[in-house]
């Protein structure tokens, strides 16, 4: 069991419960999470809270590095994390991320795919593909462009620096920064407020936000050029080095090859 | 008379003057407003201030609920408020909203369609379609996406919570928050500064902002799916309930049907 | 010599060194700058700092007004400044603007085309086409839309008001505002951090940001209408007046013709 | 039973078998057809033939007029015929229409949604929304634009004239016109040839044709204007007159109201 | 008087009547034509025939060369011919070109902008910008792409060769080729048939064809590059040579400069 | 030497001269071809003829199967044939394919990328990716959609059937079908006619055709789904089988896996 699910009135709460692996987004954890989301959607939940619990040290470590493929596109459309991100955006009610602790890599993507984010002072967010030499994909890049000031998105992704709660607030990653002691009650109150609103209207508006957010049309030739660039990255020696260094817990030495 | 118009040098000032109906955006008020805008455009006004007066308790209550249709799309392209929003964006000079008091529903759309917003400490902004079960439309959703951080736009619209002046400042709804006593002089100075600039260049740049802001192309099939979603909303029992509850001044009970 | 270039490890530093002309972006200066950028790209520089030196009074005065054409489109695709803006966006590593002093007109475009901006308390930014009656172009307008809150972009461009360091920080123009004494060390540390990351991944992600940022497709008919609007502006008497007034150091008198 | 299904090797054959109602595309017939398509898709059929039998006098009469709604959009995304057209385009193998006899209204849409069309000398095709005053939709109009020379599509739709086999051949509606006696064997040979090809490659290419064929992105404001135009049509007296005249088998009298 | 107008029942007929100037599309002729179109639209005409009369030797010679500007974009959005082409596409009923005789340059654009074309054996069509060195524009190029097989459009435009009636039929320029003696009656019958159909539905469908036909969105940067290319053409010596040669009735000598 | 080049006045002629390998589009042949194209472009050639000589039995066999990669995307942006197709479309003057004999696979792409095609009675065209299980790409599919009636493109690609000269004429693949004895003189006359036209205007128009032809924008998520579909194809056993069967000159047995 990697995830626990509960329903409080019209509000669903999904909690990541695998701290021994720092809630890494393994296939197994993602499968369980998506299954529980379907249960809550079927129960006509009107708001969903996604959390790792108040006071967690690590919200989630992100992608399970052991599951990344070698010499292949690690971010295919069918990749479990990509499926999860789409499931969050397609969930028929608002999804609120409630965050204590650090959020890493793909888990930051997950949190940024939620509709609303509430964090306490311990929360932090890092985007880390350049630590691994991972060829980040276009749908993911678009997610950042829609969600963050452009220069901030670039700084986060080019430096892989964790952003603390104060910065996250001033850069609008957080909707609200609240004391840890109030995190749960504040978030529940927000979710309960949404749950009193007209759910069909909420769902139709969320879907319009999604469709418009996904609108960044590119000509096929442009896209095929991007795929080639990404192909070079996941075939590079640097990608191998990035993964190895991570596993050996040493700094990588990248050579641009 | 719902609107008073005056011209101070190259600056036009339009004031909503119907406090007994909380400046609700009725067909009659909108018609008068658009007529005055045409007069000021013809007079080659170089900046336009749109206000309900300094110290107003309510800037505007938004859509006149009594004029919303039943069981039909309430936000058709030809809806008077939709026409007004387009008129503001097409006005050939910058439009500055000067705001004291609370702004509700469609009036928040109106203010956010202005080029620049200046408010005092009393101003607040609420987006309320989910209180009524109103099937918000795509052009309107796009307006928010262009204007606000995405998660903030979602929180405003999913909670229908009024945003106070301090939040409105930190979330960039306001260009400037100034003391009530200085609201008028500050806004006039801003408008007068713009009025000294090259008006053809200003108009051409405003038009380019508009065209680019409207660019979020969607495939026809996607759009037809959205129309169907919206159709379900305005045919729903919840929409009837939302309107009734509003008129009866009681909280609605939505059932998602 | 208008530009000095140095390389510190994997980080390149380009410094504008023409204070007698307030680092105006003349053809000559731009040619030198682009040449040095190519050298640093060939040297596989992993981050680039663009600066006018710590403590400069003017970072750059922008376009060299004497080089603007009369009665012709002054912002053609092949214009040297337009070429420079594209070169910055296509540079295969992140470009960081390090800013002391005031930044004017086209130089603000240049700084906003950099990936990250760090400034001290003396920095300020002004967008000035409406002082000249210059028909700003669509690619440039798009650059602002992508980079700044929409209402802020409009205020900057419609008022031509210089934005000081504090405002620039709160409106996310700056990634970081640091004391002048720390400007250099802070920026170098940031650049050096980026230089340790996987360079192919960094370059592929930067390119995806660029492609997505450029995505605002318009139908040909819309664009041809915009070109006509701009044509009217650069054929106008006001454009002649704007240029003359600037050269004669007097306020322009615009008549909208 | 409105449809019979058979499978010959890797080729599926679906035959409309309701001549007493001229194979009108009623909800019941469509439901059966879509069910059989799913069965054949699950059986990994490599080509599908859709026919009303060799020698049929009427291939299909199109929409069942009795099922069209009054005063509502008759071509919503969820309309059964719209669902069927999408099912044909999404079918994971090529769909070949084999046509004897006349094809009317929505049935012509259906045939034109097939990948390949083979007809004999008796076949004819008419597009008839203007006989009813039906507000044809954008996805359907796009289908014609992709499939026919533009002026021909317009003539067909503005005149509602049946196009005979010779014209259908010269305007590329038909891939092949063959004698009635050879219609079945010719079409089967074509389907069997396709069935020997690499099915994953065929399916991936069909999907790319579909995605590209659906690409005609429109700005939301444009689409909302089109919806309003269509709204006026389905609320018009002419639409009522068109339906009545059809049922009473008399020519309609349209007044443009 | 350059144009005669008549109305036969619900069908309008506009005839070019300036054979001494070969019906060249001068400002004066275009103004008259557009004025008559407005009259017929106001009279709620349900189909419009545009002709130069049965048996004309020249349908129209195209642009009036004497009115083309020097060293400026000759195809601005506001150019009278561009306005006429848009008026034809926006006319609220189908426009049928009825053609005897040769059609040249911009007049071929005009005919191809009509919804349906009927010609007799004497008709021919030439696209001639490369005879003049005229920088053809994107909206016009799009018109050809939508209307003609791509390779045929290119051959017509790169060779400037007149296409005779037989070729025009086989390449789908013509909807119908009919004997001269039947041209009028055939075309009138076609127009009258359209005039019996539901006019609101016809108009809404025509508008959807137009919107979809105009959909070929380009990124602003691409468009600005195209404008630069065109700018080089209309500033070239070859453009001057093309115009001079035409006026002097001698073959031009182009040098690619 | 795989290619011979000659220049006749302003017309360049490139002839494939490697019949022993049926002019297969190997890296070596493509490199030579592109080199010669650059020479002719530099010589300011105003029209280019691409041929395998009059009377050739095989114009070209297409991709050199021995050079296709295993288990990798065989149609990356940087693939030599993809580069060649782009070079033809970017060539600054019209390219005319002059065709005797059969054209296979990627060579049909090449011919269809030319601006104009002239063939004799011996010419034929086949599109063969489904014989190999090759995951055809989006830019290529778009090329067919722009160039051929949609149902014809689908039949060609789903059946891999060679289309003979008569069909190629009626389906507008050919601009002209001429007797073998006149093929050379006819094509030269056509090229020479183009060479007398204004070359800057011709080049600017060709570029506009290209930009508009490339316009089929897709959202990033759609494209990433297509890439996944294609990925499954080039990783499939069927792709291995297709290549093996081709080399062993036996029919493939595809299993859809
Ligand atoms: Ni310049
Ligand atoms: Ni902010
Ligand atoms: Ni044809």
Q: Give mean pLDDT, residues E72-83.
A: 92
Strand partners, C16: C3
Write the residue in B212, B217, B220 that is nearest to E217 by C-beta: B217
Residue B69: both structure tokens together:
């249709």
Task: For residue F242, give the DSSP letter.
Answer: H
Q: Give mean pLDDT, residues D107-132.
A: 97
Query: What pLDDT is attached to residue C205?
Result: 97
**Ligand that comes closest to the CA of residue C77:** 1
Write the residue in B133, B218, B256 that is nearest to A44 by C-beta: B256
Q: How do beta strands B102-104 and F102-104 pair?
A: unpaired
Query: What pLDDT is attached to residue A198?
Result: 97
Helices (H), ranges, chain F: 27-42, 80-90, 106-113, 129-132, 138-147, 150-159, 165-170, 180-195, 199-213, 220-234, 237-247
Query: What pLDDT is attached to residue D113?
Result: 98
Residue that has been written with the tokens 């049309």 in this structure: A217
Phi, psi of B116 (to 5 degrees): -140, 145
Task: For residue F215, give the DSSP letter.
Answer: -
What DSSP letter does each residue of C213-224 carry, written as one string? Answer: HT---B-HHHHH
Q: How far apart are CA A75 and CA A65, in angstroms?
A: 12
Closest alpha carbon to F193 in F175, F211, F174 = F175
Q: How far apart are the first and last CA of chain B?
A: 41
Residue A83: both structure tokens together:
């499926």
Query: What pLDDT is attached to residue B71?
Result: 82
Query: What pLDDT is attached to residue E69?
Result: 85
Query: What pLDDT is attached to residue E1?
Result: 85
Domain ranges of chain A: 3-178
Q: Would residue A46 be called left, alpha or beta, if left means φ above 0 and alpha means ψ between -120 and 50 degrees?
A: alpha
Query: What pLDDT is attached to residue F70?
Result: 81
3-state secondary structure of E9: coil
Query: What pLDDT is attached to residue D13?
Result: 98
Q: What is the pLDDT of residues F11-31, one digit of tens each?
A: 999 999 999 999 999 999 999
Is the distance from CB of A224 to CB of F85 less than 8 angstroms? no
Q: Of all helices (H) and strands (E), which one includes residue D98?
A: strand D95-99
Rounded distance from Cα E111 to ligand 2 centre (Å): 54
Is the distance from CB of C117 to CB of C139 less than 8 angstroms? no
Query: What pLDDT is attached to residue C69?
Result: 85
In chain B, which residues have pLDDT < 70? none
Write the residue in F44, F204, F211 that is nearest to E222 by C-beta: F211
3-state secondary structure of C26: coil
Phi, psi of F145 (to 5 degrees): -60, -40
Residues of chain D contacting residue B139, judged by C-beta atoms under 8 Å apart:
220-221, 224
Which chains have 3+ CB pairs within 8 A of C?
A: A, B, E, F
Superfamily (CATH) of domain E3-179: 2-enoyl-CoA Hydratase; Chain A, domain 1 (3.90.226.10)
Q: How far apart are CA B85 and CA B110, in angstroms?
A: 6
Q: Mean pLDDT across chain F, nearest whole number?
A: 96
Q: How far apart are CA B242 and CA B230, in angstroms?
A: 15
Q: How far apart are CA D238 and CA A45, in angstroms?
A: 44
Query: What pLDDT is attached to residue B70?
Result: 81
Tell me whether residues F197 and E158 touch, CB distance under 8 A: yes
- When scoring B117, B176, B200, B209 by the number of chain C Cβ atoms within 10 A, the one with the most, hence best to mutate, is B200
pLDDT > 90? residue C157: yes
3-state secondary structure of C63: strand
Q: From the candidates C2, C18, C136, C239, which is the catalytic residue?
A: C136
Which chains have 3+ CB pairs within 8 A of D?
A: A, B, E, F
Rounded distance from Cα C12 to ligand 1 centre (Å): 26
Q: How far apart are CA C169 and CA A170, in angstroms?
A: 10
Q: What is the pLDDT of residues A78-122, one digit of tens each?
A: 999 999 999 999 999 999 999 999 999 999 999 999 999 999 999
Say if residue F240 is exposed, middle or buried (CB neighbours under 10 Å; 0-12, 13-18, 19+).
middle
pLDDT > 90? residue D230: yes
pLDDT > 90? residue C117: yes
Q: How far apart are CA F197 and CA E253, in angstroms?
A: 8
pLDDT > 90? residue D127: yes
Is the distance from CB of E184 to CB of E98 less than 8 angstroms? yes
For residue C147, give the chain A residue with the closest CA. A150
Q: How far apart are CA D210 and CA D94, in angstroms?
A: 12
Q: How far apart are CA C118 and CA C103, in angstroms?
A: 13
Query: What pLDDT is attached to residue C70?
Result: 81
Query: What pLDDT is attached to residue B1?
Result: 85
Task: For residue B23, give the DSSP letter.
Answer: T
Query: What pLDDT is attached to residue D153?
Result: 97
pLDDT > 90? residue F208: yes
Residue that has been written with the tokens 């070929």 in this structure: E216
Strand ranges across the sheet with C95-99: C3-8, C11-16, C47-51, C95-99, C116-119, C176-177
Kindly report the number of other CB atoms within 10 A of residue F249's CB atom.
Answer: 6
Q: What percent of chain E has pLDDT over 70?
A: 100
Query: What pLDDT is attached to residue A35?
Result: 98
Kindly report the number of other CB atoms within 10 A of residue F185's CB atom.
Answer: 11
Q: From the candidates D2, D101, D133, D136, which is the catalytic residue?
A: D136
Tell me whether residues E254 and F193 touch, CB distance under 8 A: no
Q: What is the pLDDT of residues F229-252, one digit of tens each?
A: 999 999 999 999 999 999 999 999
Q: Would residue B204 be called left, alpha or beta, if left means φ above 0 and alpha means ψ between -120 and 50 degrees?
A: alpha
Tell me whether residues B142 and A212 touch, CB distance under 8 A: yes
CA angle B203, B49, B105 (to 5 degrees): 105
pLDDT > 90? residue D124: yes
Q: How far is CA E257 from CA D195, E69, E243, F5, F39, in A?
A: 56, 18, 15, 26, 19
Say if residue E160 is exposed, middle or buried (CB neighbours under 10 Å; 0-12, 13-18, 19+).
buried
Query: What pLDDT is attached to residue F27?
Result: 97
Q: Give mean pLDDT, residues F63-67.
A: 90
C-alpha atoms less than 13 angstroms from C-alpha of A26 in its C-beta half-sphere: 15
The residues of D whose Cβ lies within 8 A of any Cβ of F are 44, 46, 94, 115-117, 146-147, 172-173, 175, 190, 193-194, 196-209, 211-213, 215, 217
Query: What pLDDT is attached to residue A72?
Result: 85
Q: How do beta strands E124-126 and E95-99 pair?
A: unpaired
Q: What is the pLDDT of residues E32-49, one digit of tens each?
A: 999 999 999 999 999 999
Q: How far apart are CA A71 and CA B24, in angstroms?
A: 62
Tell me whether residues F256 and D117 touch, CB distance under 8 A: no
For residue F78, give the chain A residue with the closest CA. A228
Residue that has been written with the tokens 């399970």 in this structure: A64
Phi, psi of A90 (to 5 degrees): -90, -10
Q: What is the pLDDT of residues E168-211, one digit of tens each?
A: 999 999 999 999 999 999 999 999 999 999 999 999 999 999 99
Q: What percent of chain F has pLDDT over 70?
A: 100
**Ligand that comes closest to the CA of residue A173:** 2
Q: Give mean pLDDT, residues D190-214.
A: 97
Residue B133 CB contacts under 8 Å (≥ 6 apart), including other chains: A198, A200, A201, B233, B236, B238, B239, B241, B242, B243, B252, B254
Residue A155 CB contacts under 8 Å (≥ 6 apart), including other chains: A161, C115, C116, C175, C190
pLDDT > 90? residue C1: no
In chain A, which residues have pLDDT < 50? none
Q: Give mean pLDDT, residues C99-122.
A: 98
Q: Give mean pLDDT, residues E157-171.
A: 97
Is the distance from CB of F93 to CB of F203 less than 8 angstroms? yes
C28 to chain A, minimum CA–CA distance in Å? 29
Residues of chain C contacting residue A145, judged by C-beta atoms under 8 Å apart:
146, 209, 212-213
Q: Is E106 among the catalytic positions?
A: yes
Strand partners, C12: C7, C48
Phi, psi of D64 (to 5 degrees): -80, 110
Q: Give mean pLDDT, residues C131-144.
A: 93
Q: From the candidates D18, D63, D119, D239, which is the catalytic residue?
A: D63
Out of 3.60.15.10, 3.90.226.10, 1.10.10.60, 1.20.1370.10, select the CATH number for domain B3-180.
3.90.226.10
Write the residue in A199, A205, A206 that is nearest to B256 by C-beta: A199
Q: Of all helices (H) and strands (E), which one includes residue A193?
A: helix A180-195
For residue F143, give the chain E residue with the closest CA. E150
**Ligand that comes closest to the CA of residue C29:** 1
Query: What pLDDT is attached to residue D132?
Result: 94
Q: Is D136 among the catalytic positions?
A: yes
Tell me whether residues F152 and D172 touch, CB distance under 8 A: yes
Residue that has been written with the tokens 């118009």 in this structure: B5
Superfamily (CATH) of domain F3-178: 2-enoyl-CoA Hydratase; Chain A, domain 1 (3.90.226.10)
Residue E129: both structure tokens together:
């910008």
Q: Of all helices (H) and strands (E), which one includes residue D186?
A: helix D180-195
Q: Give mean pLDDT, residues D40-69.
A: 95
Closest alpha carbon to C111 in C96, C93, C122 = C96
**Ligand that comes closest to the CA of residue F167:** 3
Q: Mean pLDDT across chain E, nearest whole number?
A: 96
């Amino acid at each position: 069991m990697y995830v626990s699910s509960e329903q409080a009135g019209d509000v669903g709460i999904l909690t990541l419960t695998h701290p021994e692996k720092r809630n890494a987004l393994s296939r197994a954890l993602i499968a369980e999470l998506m299954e529980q989301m379907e249960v809550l959607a079927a129960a006509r939940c009107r708001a969903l809270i996604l959390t790792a619990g108040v006071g967690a040290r690590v919200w989630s470590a992100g992608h399970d590095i052991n599951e990344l493929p070698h010499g292949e596109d690690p971010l295919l459309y069918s990749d479990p994390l990509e499926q999860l991100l789409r499931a969050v955006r397609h969930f028929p009610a608002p999804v609120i991320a409630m965050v204590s602790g650090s959020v890493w890599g793909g888990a930051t993507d997950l949190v940024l795919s939620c509709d609303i984010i509430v964090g306490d002072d311990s929360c932090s967010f890092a985007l880390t593909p350049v630590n691994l030499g991972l060829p980040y994909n276009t749908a993911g890049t678009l997610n950042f462009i829609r969600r963050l000031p452009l220069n901030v998105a670039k700084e986060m992704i080019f430096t892989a620096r964790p952003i603390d709660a104060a910065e996250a607030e001033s850069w609008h990653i957080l909707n609200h920064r609240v004391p840890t002691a109030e995190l749960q009650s504040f978030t529940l109150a927000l979710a309960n407020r949404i749950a009193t609103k007209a759910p069909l209207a909420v769902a139709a508006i969320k879907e319009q936000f999604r469709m418009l957010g996904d609108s960044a049309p590119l000509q096929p030739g442009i896209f095929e050029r991007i795929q080639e660039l990404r192909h070079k990255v996941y075939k590079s020696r640097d990608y191998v080095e990035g993964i190895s260094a991570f596993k050996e817990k040493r700094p990588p030495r990248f050579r641009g090859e």
